């Protein structure tokens, strides 16, 4: 960590190639690709956590970047001021700025506090669960500065427990470990109750998926809940009951949650009970595609069906296969929607843009023999801000159809 701090104080200089798009970086694009950088013997030997001064081919400063020499994205912008000092005070300033935004949005301290590049901390994700924070330092520079980052988070938020979540696949590309552990305080002994949209969710921050809960769907949960009042709800790929519990809180008659994870469904059932809706909530464990087919064979019908699958297209190479999977979800889900009912389809794949995802969804609905009206398009909530110059930050799409 001391070496990382030294590089932040006295950063080495790296330069773009003459044909690199320096203008895009000056206009806010936060990444430098490996083929844009002069990688000589000295640069190639710099450790992955190095903070460096980036210059264009004419030796004009562009800012301070964090290096990842083994990655296609070889450098990530930290500060446009090449004379900035990346230290505890700098980190605390970033956290304070992020916290001020969330404090305007939410009455309770349950949200995404740091959303990576969009909050000026590339590769860093922090979710807040009251006095507990879950940190994903998915870049080598953030791992190297984890101690001052932890102190900045503690001092700014008053957190009594901070957990490092190391489950991200991106950490392996940065040469980092996969050990999730408590780095401040004591680990919660039970799932943390999270109030959201009138429901109570149970977040297992030590053993659950990602950081324990998906805050990004909060606004889409609310929209679906408004459609579901008085009706029967099917929540497929439900995780801990995201859509189903919000719909029950809004007055849905019943909700069935489908997921492949038994622990996730147990947390969903616990959340339904804590919300006072346990008698109207049911779960069904199994493969989502097989379960959708089985429900159709059983003649099941629901007034609102929502499918929120994992990222089927996490990269450009997986894009076409992912779009076929999204189309299949729509084709299997549409027959389960009662006439005049609603179908919600979601994608968290940044490699499948909105137009492509919408096209796959519409094809699937059409192949199921249903006619549809597109009534709403949703995105991640404002605690997951988008960086306008970086399309990848607009990863979440939610389409709502009336069939």
What's the per-residue H, E or C state across the chain? CHHHHHHHHCCCEEEECCCCCHHHHHCCCCEEEHHHECCCHHHHCCCCCCEEEEECCCCCEEEEEEECCCCCEEEEEEECCCCCCCCHHHHHHHHHHHHHHHHHHCCCCEEEEEEHHHHCCCCEEEEEECCEEEEEECCHHHHHCHHHHHHHHHHHHCCCEEEECCCCCHHHHCCCCCCCEEEECCCCCCCEEEEECCEEEEECCCCCCCCCCCHHHHHHHHHHHHHHCCCEEEEECCCCCHHHHHHHHCCCCEEEEEECCHHHHHHHHHHHHHCCCHHHEEEEECCHHHHHHHHHHCCCCEEEEEECCCCCCCCHHHHHHHHHHHHHHHHHHHHHEEEEEEEEEEECCCCCCHHHHHHHHHHHHHHCCCCCEEEEEECCCCCCCCCCCCHHHHCCEEEEEEC
Task: Provide CATH 3.40.50.150 ranges for the chain.
Answer: 193-402
- The CATH code of domain 193-402 reads 3.40.50.150
Q: What pLDDT, on the 0 to 100 scale, is given for residue 369?
A: 98
pLDDT tens-digit series, residues 374-393:
999 999 999 999 999 998 88
Confidence grade of residue 64 (pLDDT, cut at 50, 70, 90): very high
Least confident of 26-30, 58-62, 67-71, 310-314: 67-71
Mean pLDDT along residues 145-168:
96
- Checking if the pLDDT of 172 tops 70, the result is yes
Name the most confidently modeled range: 67-76, 206-215, 322-331. 322-331
Confidence grade of residue 307 (pLDDT, cut at 50, 70, 90): very high
| pLDDT above 70 coverage of the chain, percent | 98
Q: What pLDDT, on the 0 to 100 scale, is given for residue 86?
A: 96
Q: Which CATH architecture group holds 2-79?
A: Roll (2.30)
- Checking if the pLDDT of 155 tops 70, the result is yes
Task: Residues 88-184: name the CATH superfamily.
Answer: RNA methyltransferase domain (HRMD) like (3.30.750.80)
Q: What pLDDT, on the 0 to 100 scale, is given for residue 213?
A: 92
Confidence grade of residue 39 (pLDDT, cut at 50, 70, 90): confident
Q: What pLDDT, on the 0 to 100 scale, is given for residue 212?
A: 86
pLDDT tens-digit series, residues 253-265:
999 999 999 999 9
Q: What pLDDT, on the 0 to 100 scale, is given for residue 210?
A: 77
Mean per-residue pLDDT of the chain: 95
Q: Which residues are catalytic?
A: 348
Q: What pLDDT, on the 0 to 100 scale, is given for residue 1?
A: 53
């Amino acid at each position: 960590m001391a070496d990382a701090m030294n590089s932040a104080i006295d950063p080495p200089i790296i330069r773009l190639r003459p044909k690199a798009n320096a203008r895009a970086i000056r206009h806010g694009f936060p990444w430098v690709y490996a083929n844009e950088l002069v990688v000589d013997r000295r640069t190639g030997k710099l450790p992955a956590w190095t903070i460096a001064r980036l210059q264009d081919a004419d030796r004009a400063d562009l800012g301070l970047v964090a290096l990842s020499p083994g990655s296609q994205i070889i450098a990530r912008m930290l500060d446009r001021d090449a004379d900035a000092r990346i230290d505890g005070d700098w980190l605390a300033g970033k956290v304070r700025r992020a916290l001020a935004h969330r404090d305007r949005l939410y009455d309770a301290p349950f949200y995404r506090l740091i959303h990576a590049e969009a909050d000026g901390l590339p590769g860093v994700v922090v979710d807040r669960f009251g006095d507990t924070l879950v940190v994903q330092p998915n870049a080598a520079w953030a791992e190297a500065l984890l101690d001052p980052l932890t102190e900045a988070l503690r001092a700014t938020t008053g957190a009594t427990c901070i957990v490092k979540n190391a489950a991200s696949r991106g950490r392996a590309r940065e040469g980092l470990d996969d050990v999730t552990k408590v780095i401040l305080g004591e680990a919660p002994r039970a799932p943390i109750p999270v109030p959201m949209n009138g429901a109570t969710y149970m977040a297992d921050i030590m053993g659950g998926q990602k950081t324990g809960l998906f805050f990004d769907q909060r606004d889409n949960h609310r929209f679906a809940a408004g459609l579901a009042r008085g009706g029967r709800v099917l929540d497929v790929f439900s995780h801990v009951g995201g859509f189903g519990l919000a719909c029950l809180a809004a007055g849905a008659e019943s909700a069935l949650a489908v997921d492949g994870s038994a622990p996730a469904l147990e947390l969903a059932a616990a959340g339904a009970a804590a919300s006072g809706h346990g008698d109207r909530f049911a779960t069904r464990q199994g493969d989502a595609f097989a379960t959708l087919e089985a429900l159709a064979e059983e003649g099941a019908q629901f007034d609102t069906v929502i499918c929120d699958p994992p990222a089927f297209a996490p990269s450009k190479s997986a894009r076409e296969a992912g779009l076929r999977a999204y189309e299949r979800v729509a084709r299997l889900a549409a027959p389960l929607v009662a006439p005049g009912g609603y179908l919600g389809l979601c994608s968290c794949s940044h490699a499948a843009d909105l137009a492509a995802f919408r096209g796959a969804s519409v094809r699937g609905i059409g192949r199921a023999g249903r006619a549809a009206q597109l009534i709403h398009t949703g995105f991640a909530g404002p605690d997951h801000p988008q960086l306008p110059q970086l399309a990848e930050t607009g990863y979440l799409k939610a389409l709502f159809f009336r069939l």
